[in-house]
Structure 1
Amino acid sequence: MWTLFPSSSLRVTGADRVDFVQGQMTGDLRGAATPGLVACAFLNVRGQIEQFARAYKRADDVYLHLDAGQAAPLMARLKRYIIFDQVEVQDVSDTLHTVHVWEADGVPGWNADGPDAQSFELGGGVVLAGRVNRTGTPGLDLHYLARHEAEVLASLVGEEASLDTLDAARIRAGIPDIARDGFLGVLPQEVGLDVGGPLPAISYRKGCYVGQEIMARLEARGTTRYHLAQLAGDGWDVGADVTHAGKVVGQAGLNAGGLGLARLRKDLPESAEVEVGGTPARLQSLTART
């Protein structure tokens, strides 16, 4: 199966591209292989997520793949920090499209034993592929020129699955999508981005970056008040308050397939009765994972 994935993207070039992006993101781009793929977040000075991205480190550029609508604000942020750096930032959201292939062996040209990021010919052009887990089983994000879309999709094995179907699978697997779940503006550790979480995107051993001081404090303290949880139920909106005994105890993410992820207080009993936007919901066992 494959799913067209709404997204946006930036291409960073220039002699200082790796060091420049390294100084902004939570992941360790400098320590990655070339080609390589690093999940990361871009934080504000309070350590809260402004954007989530997957950074592809290549021989000639750094490609930043983001959720739809996220490229423009990240580009504006990066440009504010360019002083003497030899870098250029280009928004390529309209040029490149993305499809997620649920099983990597359905993509001709992909080397299962190769690196997490690979380029190869498919559908009459060169595609950039990244090993990405969006459903509980690693698949591939394929990034290709928009004008080649028909040929690329015709080269894929299996049928198209809707974005709703993909969301239901990732929520069932406990994998957050930071923008689609409405988790921007919170600490990475609260929504599964910490080391050992379902979507690790932080290195505590890399150099300084915006928000790094807060990350270091949280590492030293070893805990946050909130964590990622899974709720069973239907009918709520992204960002709806989760309440228990009349008090707000968290915020809910996207609801699909009768489940949703949520940022919930850790001191909430697993047997607690909660409501999401006034609708009864039930805590699932994911609360024990993170």
Structure 2
Amino acid sequence: MAKLTIAPLESRSVLVLNGKDVWTFLQNLITNDMKKVSDTQGIYAALLTAQGKFLHDFFILKSGDSYLLDCAAARKDDLIRRLTLYKLRADVTISEETRQVYALFGDGSHAAAELPEKLGTVSENNGLIYFADPRHLALGIRLYSKSVDNTAINLATAIPATESAYDTYRSSLGIPEGGRDILPEKNFLLEGNFEELNGVSFSKGCYVGQELTARTKHRGKVKKRLFRIEFDGELQEGDKIFDQGREIAEVRSFADGQGLALVRLEGLAGDSDKFEPKGVKLIQPDYVNLPAIN
């Protein structure tokens, strides 16, 4: 486990949804179950196309009478546009709130935030929200502050770092970033390990894209998965990985010797020593229950 570290996530934005219809509005759209959201619990979820392709992922938590969506800043305008299209005459208002998002990760992150080691737990105090990342315990805590000065966060023992340090840590766990590792309108949800990362409910009933997602799950038709990459060399987004001339994976992200790739599961029992580029390793994330390929 890494040392306790705090990093501002400049790539994130926070949307605020208000109105008497927000709960039902989101319940009918997103992949996860809004019944799990309360003043003390939040979720990870996605918005899909009607054909079950990934569009956006985000975190949802409740603060007072409002619902907060922690989403990718670079794609927030598209998310707002799509939510607005579905809103119709529902009593829902969507706005952006000035909040700095932080990641607190490494050894003792839950204890430092005075939260139990339980996925998705939330506490709020004096405008500062602590949210245990609902995807994986090792990801630690997400924090939301209305101040851009992190001295407002009383975590004197945490080492300050940049967002790239958090990205490297997340990547080392094999956990994808939506919009980069999971491509909008191209990937199916379960290819991005969404089930194992607690981002989809198979019991909540209908939502946009639900039929194909459920069919894929119950028929066992997931043919590709995101795996970790380790490589002592250079790789770029979109690079292909081959096994004796046959394409078996596509690089989605890579930095500092590691990253993620979308891997074709069929026929991955081959000898990794024969992968090209030579020396590249494809590693099944620990949280994914599939046969190892090495």
Range into which the TM-score falls when normalised by the shorter chain? 0.7 to 0.9
- The 3-state SS of whatever aligns with 2:204 is coil
Question: For residues 28 and 61 of structure 1, do their structure 2 counterparts lie closer, same or farther at Cα, with a shift above 3 Å needed?
Answer: same
Name the CA distance, whole Å, in 2 between partners of 1:111 and 1:48. 34
Residue number among 52, 65, 74 corresponding to 2:70 in the alignment: 65
2:194 aligned residue: 193
Match of 1:246? 245
Amino acid in structure 2 at the alignment position of 1:152:
A
Seen in structure 2, the aligned counterparts of structure 1 residues 217 and 135 have a Cα distance that, compared at 3 Å, is closer
2:134–2:198 contact (8 Å) kept in structure 1: no
Contact (CA 8 Å) 1:9, 1:63: kept in 2 or not? yes
Describe the superposition over 1:131-186 as per-residue Cα deviations: whole angstroms up to 9, x where unpaired: 016886242111111x4424325654322123232222222222222234354331
Please give the per-residue CA displacement for 1:182-215, whole angstroms capped at 9, x wherever unaligned: 5433111112112xx2x22110111211111111
Equivalent residue number for residue 208 of structure 2 = 210
Moved more, 149-158 or 61-70: 149-158
State the 1:70 CA deviation: 2.3
Relative to 1, partners in 2 of residues 1:46 and 1:243: Cα closer, same or farther, differing over 3 Å? Answer: farther
CA-based RMSD: 2.5
Q: Which runs of 5 or more structure 2 residues have no equivalent in the other structure? A: none
Q: Report the Cα offset of residue 59 of structure 1.
A: 3.9
1:38-117 maps to which residues of 2 (within 5 A)?
38-92=43-97, 95-102=98-105, 103-107=109-113, 110-112=114-116, 116-117=121-122
Aligned-pair CA distance for 1:247: 3.8
Structure 2 match to 1:179: 179
Count of residue pairs the alignment pairs up: 276
Partner of 1:289: 289
Q: Is the 8 A contact 1:134 1:170 kept in 2?
A: no
- SS of the aligned residue for 2:61 comes to strand
- TM-score norm. by structure 2 comes to 0.84
Give the direction of change, closer, same or farther, for the CA distance of 1:253–1:283 in structure 2 (3 Å limit). Answer: same
Query: Larger deviation: 2-11 or 136-145?
Result: 136-145
Whether the aligned pair in 1 keeps the contact of 2:37 and 2:61 (CA below 8 Å) is no
Q: Label 1:50 to 1:285 Cα distance change in 2 as closer, same or farther (>3 A).
A: closer
On the 8 A contact 1:35/1:59 being kept in 2, the answer is: no
Give per-residue Cα distances to partners, 1:80-114, cap 9 Å, x unaligned.
Answer: 0112311111122xx1111111113234xx34389
Deviation string 1:105-128 (CA, Å, 9 cap, x unpaired) is: 234xx343897111113xxxx112
Shift of 1:36: 2.0
Kept in 1: contact 2:135–2:199 (CA 8 A): no
SS in 2 for 1:30: helix
| Cα distance between partner residues in 2 of 1:35 and 1:285 | 32
TM-score (norm 1): 0.85
